[in-house]
Structure 1
């Protein structure tokens, strides 16, 4: 500011000097006062012309794109140009920083798993993220500025939106026949609204599965308990012959065994879900595994079926070790073979095989000539307590948990469970292990480790 003052004083001195020169000229012309005024007016005119030119250059710069430097004409106009330019540059930097922060904020909202929609006071869409567009079936670009109630016509949505701010989430079940949404409305600013949507489809499905699980367990346990209570009352209140008494005790034993099997399967599932993934340094022999499965399968069939297992030569050629837990693998295979035996009529065939794959992995396959399963049931077979025919399952002694156990064992060992079946033509179940879990034998006896590890 001192520099401006000095320059202004220089201009004032210049005009005074012009006035003095004008006065001297006036003395020569015998009109000193008129000369002084004439000199002063000339100085003022010269200063005015100079300031007008400088002001014009500053105005031209302000009217332009402001990209170049402001005119640096000294004194007052130069200082004004410098201050104006500096204020504009600082404002541009502040706006750039604000835009950057806004962009980061919007990117953070875009990354949110929830849908976010901003509405103005007229319920028109100001902004929405991708999840919000997916949840409500909107287009993030095309639908900006549109009234949301013209695009989303769900009665529950419109009612919740018009009710104003909601303190509890509004449920939109089966929205567009594919999603179940939770909607939260918040009012901000001058009548503007923030909509938060959340996809709760999986949560609702999990809740339904949990309710079904509890109901199924209760039903499965209640049925044998009811039978047992009836038999106990019969034994306590009625005189029975020895033959009748033995028959009742035998039926009580069957129901007790059924409950024990159910509880054992439930505990197995709980252990599978809560245990860490099997390590890759414990190896199980496929030969020994198949030998144990064969003993249990033939014992369950009791000669009623044709049971086929790989012969010694085939096992020698296809022999391998699997990285995993012996008891879990044994449980998975025996569940598959027991299902095959239960659902294959007497005289049918149950074939079990193991083969190495070109990729280095290996596959256990259980094939039967049983009653088969309709294709629409295949995706749900591994659900807990899912039964194609509930009455037939109970007659065969199944708990409805076997294939769920098989699925969990396969997943824990990095394997894939494949199902293929057709009514009247039998079923095929395969467990395919990746190459990282299979160790091919090279003319040596495999060593089984981890056989005593609990499932």
Structure 2
């Protein structure tokens, strides 16, 4: 297709050439009149086809597109082909959208499509049933106007959708819902919800079973341990030939008692019952306590150091955080060979704060790191038995940190030690004045 600029150039060049010839053989007035009439006819033609194009665009039907003439014939042909391509694309998109909506409508889970402003664009029948939405009346409404549960609104505003949230249905208190937002496209989101009531009941039964069994076992184990300890202390009560067996029984009884205590602690954390109130914690004093406990456990076999920002505090449950920090340090002591170094640090890390425990111990292979917080997961079972570990320490730490909106970060390399860090968000941090920090 010849460029429209060249078409105009050759037309005006031809018109000018004709006018010059007329001027040469006739007179200037006639030449100018012919040139002017030709130019006006050219402009009138363009204005006419522009008018036809604007009228067609009001109702763009391919069957009624003008044929055009000259340059406009090419323009209308191009518009015709582009419109056909657009119609095919639109038809394909509509078909894909219809298939998606049809498939999503068959899902047992609730699916809600939200735009960048969290306005409902579409939802499936399961969402109408589980979340109490109605597609016809609620389409175009902000989701937070219709789902006013406090936890959901906080989750929506937080913009951290890595993990789902669980909440009691506002329509039926016997139903527990799991909701997760999945960002996609241009700031759009999918809200996916499911009824996890049965799973929650099974999980509750599991927690109750573990708690009850652990509680019932604690008393007989305490009695057995007490008798073993008494017999070991009584002169002549245990023959020297069997004293080693009694020592093994006493050791395993103690291990069972520690396991039961950890199971009860984990069960309490998972149930979310008896949550202690948040208070302002003097982290410097807490870490000094942890330091003394680590030195006692090490019994001089390791070089243990502490570096702490005395002005940096926390809000949370002091007893729980003492347990979490103590577990991190005791793990470092247990898995670091004699003569190794253990370094504890409490300081700011960007906008967050982190308590890190670095050791020069045996290290952990990368393939194990993601599973370390699973219950009873052990990298080396024989090593865990030797050190007295229960396999629940990191699970307890993870639950405690989650309760404090914190996270556990693990860096390790086999043979080169490990670094375990409890990272707390800015919202949990407090600052003391320099004078108060120095006084302590």
TM-score (norm 1): 0.46
Provide the TM-score with structure 2 as the length reference.
0.47
Q: Which has the higher contact order (CA 8 A, sep 6+)?
A: 1
